[in-house]
Amino acid sequence: MNILVIGGGGREHAIVWSLAKSSRVKKLYCVPGNAGIAKLAECVPIGVMEFDKLVRFAKEQAIDLVVVGPDDPLAAGIVDAFGAAGIPAFGPNKAAAEIEGSKIFMKHLLRKYGIPTARYETFDDYETALAHLRRQQPPIVVKADGLAAGKGVTVARTIEEAEQALRGMMIDRVFGASGARVVIEDYLEGQEMSILSFVDGEIVRPMVPAQDHKPVFDGDRGPNTGGMGTYSPLPHIDPAVVEEAVERIIKPTAAAMVKEGRPFRGVLFAGLMVTKDGPKVVEFNARMGDPEAQVVLPRLKTDLLEIILAAMDGRLDRIDIEWSDEAAVCVILASEGYPGSYPKGRPIEGIDKAEEAGALVFHAGTALKDGGYVTNGGRVLGVVGRGRDIGEARNRAYEACGLIRFEGMHYRKDIAAKALAARRN
């Protein structure tokens, strides 16, 4: 089969890496791809939002299947565009992708169907939102309604911090139109947990759980990012809690989308908080998480392409999906200044040494220049260590990080520390 993957980050590198192992793949393309992906697939310089060009390219290359990675094209209807041209595309259509494209839609859906989430209110008027905010007790969470590259959420420890976030979203428009409406919700206390699931309508096949680290600095300090690292499995979270999340949250949400006339087909990402009252929804995404995909897909033993085809053909409930018992830990190496503005074009050294040491290195923001890798994004690389348990995988990931260098490189030193601390206790 000729496969086209849409996107150019670490998630897409992990997807391409996983698909490349399938015996059914004849040719892999990636649009636009990156320097690491180029070792596995032919990268084509077309923008992910250039639907007409993408459809034309897919027809010219006789593409049999499109796999969509990022959120923006899904929310804009890329699956609908390929479908109209008769080209199968794996991912939700525009109506179903609104579960990520609008936090207000998502919260209203959960409220309507009684699915556990934080208490909230929504606003499209700044003064009304500000008055509500000043009646709350911190910590409080302020979210831009629309897509914001994973950065449109502020967990405010003070009302002053919340007011600043609200003004940035609704008045200064730091996230553009995405901040025209906001969600103000209660802060949830507990352990974060991400569960990605292959979904076809009401058929849900959960993947192994992972835990992300959103804030940029150790100890969960600093502004939110797209994710600074993740790990899987979660030995400190009872499997019964994972099962509860699937049965009380993910399956009912898939069923709710069907009832709303928006059946979801693709990968549904549930961002959860395990509270003293059980798991509750923090967010839903309409695609694989980044960097969650970088630890979940390396644990997948079943052919990813076969799973996707089963979902496309209505056979998702009949395919066996196997997972490795091996642990995986991913540490994101970021550019100086990220998640704010950052430089590009800085030479990267040591990727080959890290790979020789046994690490998986997924490229997120890289390019080729004069025969070498250079930085080309805020999150540059995802370095994945694997081992018998979290401790061994974590050690291997950080050893590999120590072999890679570029000017201004920074990364969190406490990825997976919560799991190790819980195990010691």
- Does residue 151 carry a pLDDT above 90? no
pLDDT, tens digit (0-9, with 9 covering 90-100), for 369-401: 999 999 999 999 999 999 999 999 999 999 999
What does the pLDDT read at residue 424? 61
d(CA 244, CA 177) in angstroms, rounded, equals 36
Least confident of 96-110, 139-153, 375-389: 139-153
Give pLDDT, residue 80.
Answer: 98
pTM: 0.95
pLDDT at 425 (0 to 100): 52
Distance of CA 338 to the CA centre of its chain: 17
Gap between the Cα atoms of 383 and 330, Å rounded? 5
Structural domain boundaries in the chain: 2-93, 119-186, 191-318, 327-424
pLDDT band at 423 (very low <50, low <70, confident <90, very high): low
Q: Which CATH architecture has domain 119-186?
A: 2-Layer Sandwich (3.30)
| pLDDT value, residue 230 | 98
Fold entry, domain 191-318: D-amino Acid Aminotransferase; Chain A, domain 1 (3.30.470)
Q: Which of 191, 199, 351 is nearest to 271 (CA)?
A: 191
Average pLDDT of the chain to the nearest whole number: 96
Average pLDDT over residues 14-21: 98
Fold classified for 2-93: Rossmann fold (3.40.50)
pLDDT bin (cut points 50, 70, 90) of residue 421 is confident
Tell me the pLDDT band of 233, cut-offs 50, 70 and 90. very high
| Nearest one of 264, 289, 224, 267 to 105, comparing CA atoms | 264
Average pLDDT over residues 313-342: 97
Distance, CA of 7 to chain centre: 12
Model confidence at 19, pLDDT cuts 50, 70, 90, reads: very high
What average pLDDT score do residues 17-28 get? 97
What CATH number is given for 327-424 in this structure?
A: 3.90.600.10
Q: What pLDDT is stored for residue 345 in this prediction?
A: 97
Give the model's pLDDT for residue 95: 98
The tens digit of pLDDT for each residue in 31-66 reads 999 999 999 999 999 999 999 999 999 999 999 999
